Amino acid sequence: MRPPGLLSRPENRPAKEGKLKRTPAKPAEVIEQLELSHGLATESGLPVYPPTGLRVAVVGGGFVGLVAAAGFAQFGHTVFLIEKDSQKLDELRAGKVRIYERGLPELITANLRRQRLSFRADLAEAVKGAQAIFLAVGTPSLSSGEADLSAVFEVIENLIPLLEPRQIIVLKSTVPVGTASQVRNLLFRNGAEKKQTAVVSNPEFLREGTAVLDFFRPQRIVIGGDRPEAIETVAQLYRVGMMNACPIVVTNNETAEMIKYASNLFLATKVTFTNELANLCDAAGINVTEVTRGMGLDSRISPEFLSPGPGFGGSCLPKDLEAILNLAQKHGTQLSIAEAVKEANRRQPDKVVEKLESLLGNLKGKTIGILGLTFKAHTNDLRSSPALEVMKRLAAKGALLQAFDPVAEAEAKTLWPELKLSPKPAEAAQGADALAILTEWPEFMALDWEAVGGRMKAKNIVDARNLLVPEILTRHGFNYLGMGQKPGEV
C-alpha cells in the first residue's frame, strides 16, 4: 500500500490524499533528441517534447533557476527567466553561461533556438499568463547562521501588484521552515486571497556537476502546499518530461521545507562520518577504502558519500547546516549531531595540513602545488570550498602556493588575486616540495606522474581525495599519503 502523501509514479495517477484530481499523464511524443556533451545523457540524448501550452516564469538566473528554466523548456513548456543583472542577461540571451554545469549550455541554446526559453528583465512581462512562478533566488547565510530571505520577499513584494487569478507561486529556493506561511500571509494581507493565489514549496535536490540529469531523472520530487489543484499543476509540469519513474511526494509546506534541510543535514553527517572514520583508520593503520567498500554493500548504508576528503563545502551543505542549527535554537532544541558535524568539518582541513607537515616539517618557505580548487569536481563553484580552507591554513604557516584548476581559474583570480595560478597541472608541480590534490578532478588520474615528479623539487604528494592509486605513485618514487590509507595500499 502506498504511503499517504506519495503520488504514484509520474505516468500514473496521484494518491487520494489532498483530493487531487485524477489526471494520468499521457506519454508525450518524442519529436527529436538533444545530444549533450560529456556523456551525460542516454546514447540517443535527451528527448525533446512537443509544446504543452503551459507557461512558466522562473525568477533568478543562478544555478537552480537556469537548470529549472532550461529543463522545463525541454519538457515543452514556454519559459521566461527573469534576471535583473543586465550584463548577465545579455550573456544568457547569447547562450553564454557563467556556471560550469555539464550539458547546460547545450540545453539553453537548443531551447532558445526553439523559442521555448527566453530571458527577461521585466518581471511583469515574464509572469503575465504564467500558470506557475518559480522563485529560485539566493538565500545565503547571515552572520547569525539564519538564512537571508531578503531576495525572496523582495520578489514577493514586486509580484503582488502583478498577480493574476489562480497563479501559483512556487518556492524553489531553499528556505527555512515556515517561510511559505510567511509568504502566504504577506500575499493575503495584500489581497491575494481574492485572486486565489497559491503558495507551493518545491525544494530542489540538484547536484552540481550532474544537475541536468538530476532534473530529468530525479530520485524524488517534493511538492508541499494546501491547495490540491495547485499541487497537481506543479506535478504536471514535471510529469510530462521525466525520463524515469520518479515518486512525487505530496505534503504540506512546512514538511517540504524540512525535507530539504533534513536531507542536507544527513548528507553532511555522512560525509563527516566518513572523514572521521578515515582519521581513525589513519591512526590505526587500516585502509579506509576497504572499510567503506564493505560498509557500502549494506543497502541501509549505500556507497554514496563514503569517500573521505578535506571536508564538505559548496553553496548548500554548510549554509543549510547553519540554518537548521538556527531553527533548532529558535525552538529551544539542541541538535548535538549537527553541532558536532559543524565542528568536525571545521577541523578537517587541518588533517591535510598535518599530512604535509609530516612530509615536509616546517612549511614556512616550502612550495606546495595545489591540484583542484573547487569544492567538488565538475563545477566552477568555489563557495565554502574545503580546498580554499586548506590553502588558507597553509598560507598562514608561510607556505608558498601555486595552483591549478581545470575550470575555476577566473573565479580563483577574483576570489584570491595574489594566488599564483598555473595553466597546466604539471606546471603547478614545477619546483614544488609537495603536491596536494584537493579536488577529485578525474583528469588528475591520467597525469604522467614520471614527468610530474621530474619537475618537482621533492616527490611528496598528499592525496586528500584518495583519487590516485598509491602503488603507482610509490613506483614512481613518490612519498604518498592519502586519507585513511597507508602508503602503497590500493
Nearest Cα to Cα of residue 18 among 34, 33, 2, 6? 6
Cα 149 from Cα 132, distance rounded (Å): 20
Look at 100-104, 126-130, 370-374, 438-442 and tell me which has the smallest mean pLDDT: 100-104
Cα 20 from Cα 350, distance rounded (Å): 53
pLDDT-derived band at 194, boundaries 50, 70, 90: confident
Write the CB contacts of 317 (distance below 8 Å, at least 6 apart in sequence): 264, 267, 268, 271, 384
pLDDT at 375 over 50: yes
pLDDT at 2 over 70: no
Instruction: For residue 316, indicate whether it is catalytic.
Output: yes
pLDDT of residue 21: 36
* Fold for the domain defined by 27-32+50-251: Rossmann fold (3.40.50)
Cβ-contact 308, 463 below 8 angstroms: no
For range 78-83, the mean pLDDT = 97
Task: Please write the tens of the pLDDT for every residue from 155-177.
Answer: 999 999 999 999 999 999 999 99
pLDDT of residue 362: 98
SS3 state at 75 = coil
Cα 99 from Cα 408, distance rounded (Å): 10
User: 42-51, 106-115, 479-488: which has the highest mean pLDDT?
Assistant: 106-115
27-32+50-251 and 292-481, same CATH topology: yes
Cβ-contact 45, 34 below 8 angstroms: yes
Average pLDDT, the chain: 91
pLDDT of residue 1: 36
Write the CB contacts of 256 (distance below 8 Å, at least 6 apart in sequence): 180, 201, 202, 203, 222, 223, 224, 225, 249
pLDDT at 27 over 80: no
Nearest Cα to Cα of residue 128 among 57, 233, 65? 57
List 67, 97, 112, 316, catalytic entry: 316
pLDDT at 396 over 50: yes
Cβ-contact 419, 444 below 8 angstroms: no
Task: Please write the tens of the pLDDT for every residue from 312-324.
Answer: 999 999 999 999 9
For range 339-347, the mean pLDDT = 98
* Boundaries of every domain in the chain: 27-32+50-251, 292-481
pLDDT of residue 17: 39
Residue 354 burial (CB count, 10 A): 14
**Alpha-carbon distance values, 392 to 347, 380, 409 (Å):** 13, 19, 17
pLDDT at 457 over 90: yes
For range 258-264, the mean pLDDT = 98
pLDDT of residue 9: 42
Look at 365 and 8; give whichever has higher pLDDT. Answer: 365
pLDDT at 486 over 90: no
pLDDT of residue 16: 38
Query: Cell 485572486 sits at which residue?
Result: 195
SS3 state at 320 = helix
pLDDT of residue 36: 53
Look at 15-19, 142-146, 318-322, 357-361 and tell me which has the smallest mean pLDDT: 15-19
Kindly report the CATH class assigned to 292-481.
alpha beta
Cα 326 from Cα 483, distance rounded (Å): 32
pLDDT of residue 487: 59
pLDDT of residue 5: 54
pLDDT of residue 35: 54
